[in-house]
Amino acid sequence: MPGRPSAATTVDRHNLLLYNCSTSFATEYADRILLLDKAAAAWTTQFRAQSQRFGHTLELGDALIAGTAKANGLCVATRNIADFHHFDIDVTNPWIAK
């Protein structure tokens, strides 16, 4: 069809938008973004192994969150406390009144 962007153009636009959004996000929240350092990676692997030993599967994203929180002495705020409560980290559900 004439005037219709090619698939490559659409992908390029999508990639540019994604890049601009992620750059903007990283800039806006730079003081609140934690890096995955060796300590966080070590806790991540320990939590995944621990979970596996107990017959559970801890998704990589949840393991990274837990490991990063543990390495930095932080509390995990999530509605999904079930996946985190058996690890040695502080977990809270901010949507439940205390």
Please report, for the chain, how many H helices and E strands are present, in that order: 3, 2
Distance from C-alpha of 5 to C-alpha of 8, rounded to nearest angstrom? 8
Q: What is the pLDDT of residues 22-50, one digit of tens each?
A: 888 888 888 988 989 999 999 999 999 99
Annotated domain spans of the chain: 1-33, 38-92
Which residues, including other chains, have CB under 8 Å from residue 90's CB and lie 6 or more apart?
A: 69, 74, 75, 76
State residue 9's pLDDT score: 77
Query: β-strands 75-77, 90-92: how paired?
Result: parallel
Superfamily of domain 38-92: 5'-nuclease (3.40.50.1010)
Residue 88 structure tokens: 């040695």
Q: What is the pLDDT of residues 65-91, one digit of tens each?
A: 999 999 999 999 999 998 888 899 999
Residue 11 structure tokens: 């992908």
